[in-house]
Chain A
Amino acid sequence: MYNFIMLLNNRLIIIYLFFNQLIMFYRLLADYYLWVLNTISFGNGKLFALSPLQPENLVYPTQLPRLLPAPSLSHRCDRSSSSADRLLSHSYHVIPFPVSHQEFRPLPLCHPPVLSACHPTTLNNNVPYNPRSSVFQVQYFRTSVAYRDEVITVKTPAFAESVTEGDVRWEKAVGDSVSEDEVVCEIETDKTSVQVPSPAAGVIEELLVPDGGKVEGGTPLFKLKKGAGAAKAPESPKAAAAPSPPSAAPTPPPPPSTVEPIPTTMPPVPPVPAHAMDTKPVSAIKPTAAPAAPAAHAEGGAKAARTESRVKMNRMRLRIAQRLKEAQNTCAMLTTFNEVDMSNISEMRKAYKDAFLKKHNIKLGFMSAFVKAAAYALVDQPAVNAVIDDTTKEIVYRDYVDISVAVATPKGLVVPVIRNVEEMNFTDIEKAINLLGEKARKNELAVEDMDGGTFTISNGGVFGSLFGTPIINPPQSAILGMHGIFDRPVAVGGKVEIRPMMYVALTYDHRLIDGREAVTFLRKIKSVVEDPRVLLLDM
């Protein structure tokens, strides 16, 4: 009898336990059902963010949460968070949804069901919401059906001190997205400038007052469409690639919206810029960084965006491009080369540079030698100093030598001119170059400084160029290109010696200048620079 009762008790216990598990299982189902209702219900349209720290990187579990098997009793004391963690760690696919987290604060937040069996006796709604609890790793986002199209009209704020009206000056334009508290316009009233901030984040839809128009307190100013710029924010792909969200959410993959189809053709090779565009500054001027394409797209969001950026061409660049192409089309351009041994002139410079600096207060460079050499050679070969007048079909010979020195400035290439170089000596030339360099740097070059010129010199050596073909600067007939000075082994007097050598290039218009004249011209420059005594002796 006793044995029978014991057996019955055991079975009852087992049955009791079984039903307990069943009830827990049904409770779990009920929880899940409620959770699903909460998350996908359209009646409310609300999903709640529990982790306000990273509203941009919200996890949307794309897999159904797995129902956990009934845990054994030994797991009863496990932390529920661990199972939630395990659950969530399976959802790898993240679609970022940029929503302002500030909208979530005033809403009553519902405790989502805990998907584990370790809270068998608690009902969902009784557990107080605790945002800091590690249980709540799930982040929700809002499908703001109700808020999507809300447009608000912002009125002029009341003016202080009995002022009646003011002028509106717009800071933002139609279509700009603004964040909360960002200044949209300023109202000027009686020597006071009042800022009008945006009451919420959104996109400006319409400006109701023209710029400079008069408004009074309470006049409608502009219409703002709320929505945190969700539709238009170009920074959402960047924000997605921004610092990864904390805690359990895995690193988001690149947002699918900006994935481009795999290109099938090679991107076009960028055209090699003409030599004159790359010309280097005069010795006195430091080279300034070229206005590069916006670097913002190159960095940041490393794996994400492969975007293009379009920058409108600078007017100056457009015109120079046009002129250069015209020059190329009219002139019969070709280039002749030579090399110059710079050892003598370097030695002269080394010997005299301190004394020169002390006496004239400017540095002695190489440009003066080349400019003077060019002037000397131009006087000797007047054809190189001449120009063809296409309209009258005449050759214009000039007895003055104005040398243009190509200078790179932040706004493009400018070519200031040194006038009457044939009468100057090295010092005068250095002074003139210095003065022009100062003016160019301060953006003070006048029209007279840049007009005219019979010959151009461009220095590629500052950037380390070895060899190259300059392009003629219209309406001239020739251009001298200087390149970098590099030590090379050369044959001198039957022996090999290391000398600092520079390649020089002369591009000329063959319609006017013959090969013999061009080569003689270049050789003359070479002889003057290699031995400045040639100038004294007029050889």
Chain B
Amino acid sequence: MLSHLRGTFCVLSAGVQRAWSSSSCLFMDPSSPGLVLQSQSTDVFQNLALEDWIDAHVDLQQRSVLLLWRNRPTVVIGRHQNPWAECNLPAMRSAQVPVARRRSGGGTVYHDLGNLNLTFFASKKAYDRRRNLKVVTDALRRVRPQLDIQATDRLDILLNGHYKISGTASRLSRKSSYHHCTLLHSADRSAIAVLLRPSCPGIRSNATPSIPSPVANLSDHAPSLQWEELLEAVVQQYSSEFGLTSSSQCVDPADEALFPGVGSMEAELRSWEWTFGKTPKFSVETQLELRDERPAARCSAQLQLEVKNGRVESCRVEVPATWLPERLSASLAQALLGERFCPHRAAAALSALLRCESGPLHSRLHNLCDVLVAAMG
């Protein structure tokens, strides 16, 4: 069903699709005060790069733009959040779900093909988030009047007064602004529960926290509501609210001719430096449980890490001296300094240390390394 949806994503029931050869004819059409675009791509980085491109390059003083997009399963964190605290990175790695950091603030969301994203671009003066949400709530009320849809003070949209179906985030640049929100149509809620939990214990940071709320899909409460119908309703409501005449256009965010420079924006959003390196400073304090196979013994150690810009700034491992000699735990801590806070990098760094030891110390050190790497998520 999802592949069917993907195939028909760009088919509109009405309106003509024109092939745009350059961005100037797309955006400089003076007749309409606004534009509705649909992204053909389901890659989160391409879509986020398209958002940035429109924010940076389109003159929004006289017109506004609405961008509709959706992504393959991804976790998207807010600009100032901590990915290790917000999402379960090892589970995501095994499920092949990438993590992306967007440029607007707010909390963490799980995107997949059953989740519609809407971005409202406007000039700073015309920045009105309630009006944008009114577009969405009015559209929903028009197609399914029996549903109880309310927008709250925190700019969420609640279904039946309790379930959150939409969350909001926005960004104010120097002259322009954008406000985007999600809309849960038929997302995978079990994945949300599994993936949106901390990767490693003991994280303490002042990054923006996410506020978890119970979520629901529109399709659960209105099973007859199809994706295309929802899309059409939103586009129509936006057109009538903002006085547009033309219908929506399909665009490919990877098209360099239409959006020159979008490729480099996408590359920046994919980079480790942006996704993890922009994390505000945080510290990890946890206890490690160590055990030795022969003889069967166990002990516990303290781990304290300070991570800045995604790299380990300071590290202390307190292991009882009877378990491992001081010099080994000191050199272990030393080995991690300056490395990225990533289990693979840590593994590579620690294995170089391991190669020097042998005998009973080796197995204990190996165990400590394993536990340490596991604690990093």
Q: Is B254 an interface residue (CB 8 A)?
A: no
Query: Does chain A have a CB within 8 A of B172?
Result: yes
Residues A206-241 near B (CB distance < 8 A): 211-212
Docked pose: A191 CA to B77 CA in angstroms = 12
User: B354, A451: Cβ atoms under 8 Å?
Assistant: yes
In the complex, which residues of chain A have a beta carbon less than 8 angstroms from the beta carbon of B352?
Answer: 316, 319-320, 323
Set of chain B residues within 8 Å of A438, measured between Cβ atoms: none
Of residues 165 through 209 on chain A, the ones whose CB sits less than 8 Å from some CB of chain B are 167, 169, 181, 186, 188-195, 197
Stretch at the interface among A67-75, A292-300, A440-448: A440-448
A451 B105 Cβ-Cβ under 8 A: no
Number of A-B contacts (CB under 8 A): 128
B359 within 8 A of A: yes
* Central interface residue in A211, A315, A450, by most chain B CB within 10 Å: A315
Q: In whole angstroms, how far apart are the Cα atoms of A411 and B272 in the complex?
A: 14
Nearest CB of A to B33, in Å: 21
- Cβ of B373 within 8 Å of any chain A Cβ, yes or no, is yes
Q: Is the contact region of chain B dominated by helix, strand, or loop, or is it mixed? A: loop
Which one of B216-224, B233-241, B337-345 is at the interface?
B337-345
Contact partner of A212 (CB less than 8 A), chosen from B107, B280, B356, is B280
Are A389 and B358 interface neighbours, CB within 8 A? yes
Q: Which single member of A191, A195, A415 contacts B173 (CB below 8 Å)?
A: A195
Known: A186-B80, A193-B172. A319 touches B335 (CB 8 A): yes
The residue that A323 contacts in the complex, of B106, B171, B355, B366, with Cβ under 8 A, is: B355
User: B186 on the interface (CB 8 Å rule)?
Assistant: no
Q: Which of A316, A396, A414: most chain B CB closer than 10 A?
A: A316
Q: Is the pair B337, A315 in contact by a Cβ cutoff of 8 Å?
A: yes
Give the size of the chain B interface in residues (CB under 8 angstroms).
49
Query: Are B347 and A450 interface neighbours, CB within 8 A?
Result: yes
The answer to whether A447 and B105 have CB atoms under 8 Å apart is: no
Known contacts being A167-B80, A212-B280, A389-B359, is A447 close to B366, with CB within 8 Å? yes
**Given contact pairs A186-B79, A186-B80, A447 touches B170 in the complex (Cβ within 8 A):** no
The contact of B127 among A160, A167, A314, A323, by CB within 8 Å, is A160
The distance from the CB of B77 to the nearest CB of chain A, in whole angstroms, is 12
Q: Which residue of A lies closest to B357 (CB)?
A: A475
0/1 string, B202-215, CB within 8 A of A gives 1: 00001110000000
The reply to whether A211 and B172 form a contact with Cβ atoms under 8 Å apart is no
Whether the pair A169, B347 counts as a contact (CB closer than 8 A) is: no
Point out the residues of chain A lying under 8 angstroms from B170, CB to CB. Answer: 191-193
Decide: A160 and B105 in contact? CB cutoff 8 A.
Answer: no
In whole angstroms, how far apart are the Cα atoms of A312 and B337 in the complex?
13
How far is A447 from B350 in the complex, measured between Cα atoms in Å?
Answer: 7
Q: Which of A22-40 contact B (CB under 8 A)?
A: none
State how many angstroms separate the Cβ of B99 from the closest Cβ of chain A: 15
Please report the C-alpha to C-alpha distance between residue A190 and residue B80 in the assembled complex, in whole angstroms: 12
Q: How far is the CB of B127 from chain A (nearest CB, A)?
A: 6
Contact B206 A212 (CB under 8 A): yes
Option from B107, B124, B348 in Cβ contact (under 8 Å) with A316: B348
Contacting residue for A192 out of B105, B107, B207, B373, CB 8 A: B105
Chain A positions 384-399 with a Cβ under 8 Å from a chain B Cβ: 387, 389, 391-392, 396
Q: Are B355 and A169 in contact, CB atoms less than 8 angstroms apart?
A: no
Residue pair A447, B373 in contact (C-beta under 8 Å): yes
Tell me which of A167, A190, A211, A316 contacts B281 (CB under 8 A).
A211
Indicate if the CB atoms of A191 and B347 lie closer than 8 Å: no
| CB of A474 within 8 Å of the partner chain | yes
Determine if A315 and B103 form an interchain contact, defined as CB atoms under 8 angstroms apart.
Answer: no
Confirm or deny: B353 has a beta carbon within 8 angstroms of a beta carbon on chain A: yes
Closest to A166 in B: B105
Is there contact, CB below 8 Å, between B79 and A447? no
Contact of B171 among A192, A315, A392, A444 (CB under 8 A): A192
What is the chain B residue whose CB lies nearest that of A443?
B344
| CB of A473 within 8 Å of the partner chain | yes
Residues on A with beta carbons closer than 8 Å to the beta carbon of B141 = none
Per-residue B-contact encoding for A301-316, CB less than 8 Å = 1, 0 else: 0000000000010111
Q: Is B169 an interface residue (CB 8 A)?
A: yes
In chain A, residues 434-464, which have Cβ atoms closer than 8 Å to a Cβ of chain B? Answer: 443-447, 450-451, 453
Q: Which among A192, A312, A323, A387 is the interface contact of B169 at CB below 8 angstroms? A: A192
A160-B127, A186-B80 given; A411·B348 CB < 8 A: yes
Min Cβ gap A523→B in Å is 29
Cβ–Cβ < 8 Å partners of B285 in chain A: none
Chain A 28-56 per-residue mask, 1 if CB under 8 angstroms from chain B, else 0: 00000000000000000000000000000
- Specify which chain B residues have a CB less than 8 angstroms from the CB of A320 in the assembled complex: 352
Residue of A at shortest CB range from B343? A446
Q: Does A260 contact B (CB under 8 A)?
A: no
B338 to chain A, nearest CB (A): 5
User: Nearest-CB distance from A208 to chain B (Å)?
Assistant: 17
- Cβ of A347 within 8 Å of any chain B Cβ, yes or no, is no
Q: Does B134 contact A (CB under 8 A)?
A: no
CB distance from B281 to the nearest CB of A (A): 7
The CA of A193 and the CA of B79, in the complex, are separated in Å by 8
Task: Say whether B351 faces chain A, with CB atoms less than 8 Å apart.
Answer: yes
> CA of A169 to CA of B352 in the docked complex: distance in angstroms?
37
A475 with B358, Cβ < 8 A, contacts A447-B351, A450-B348 known: yes
CA distance A475 to B359 in the complex (A): 12
Contact with A along B116-142 (1 / 0, CB 8 A): 000000001001010000000000000
Given A192-B172, A474-B356 in contact, is the A447-B339 Cβ separation under 8 Å?
A: no
For the complex, is B168 an interface residue (Cβ under 8 Å from A)? yes
Q: Would A191 and B80 be within 8 Å (CB), given that A169-B280, A323-B352 are in contact?
A: no
Q: A475 to B80, Cβ gap below 8 A? A: no
Residues of B contacting A473 with CB < 8 Å?
Answer: 355
Which residues of A are found within 8 Å of B298, using beta-carbon distances? none
Give the complex CA separation of A444 and B373 in angstroms.
12
The answer to whether B338 touches A315, judged by C-beta atoms less than 8 angstroms apart, is: yes
A161 at the interface (CB under 8 A from B): yes
Asked if B225 lies at the interface with its beta carbon under 8 angstroms from chain A, I say no
B79 neighbours in A (Cβ, 8 Å) = 169, 186, 188, 193
Given contacts A195-B172, A443-B345, 14 further A-B contacts (CB under 8 A): A167-B80, A188-B105, A191-B78, A191-B105, A191-B154, A192-B171, A211-B206, A319-B335, A320-B352, A389-B358, A391-B358, A447-B369, A450-B351, A475-B356
14 A-B residue pairings within 8 Å (CB atoms) = A160-B172, A186-B105, A191-B105, A191-B106, A192-B104, A193-B79, A315-B338, A316-B339, A326-B356, A391-B358, A391-B359, A444-B344, A445-B347, A446-B373
List chain A positions with a Cβ less than 8 A from chain B. 160-161, 167, 169, 181, 186, 188-195, 197, 211-212, 312, 314-316, 319-320, 323, 326, 387, 389, 391-392, 396, 411-412, 414-415, 443-447, 450-451, 453, 473-475
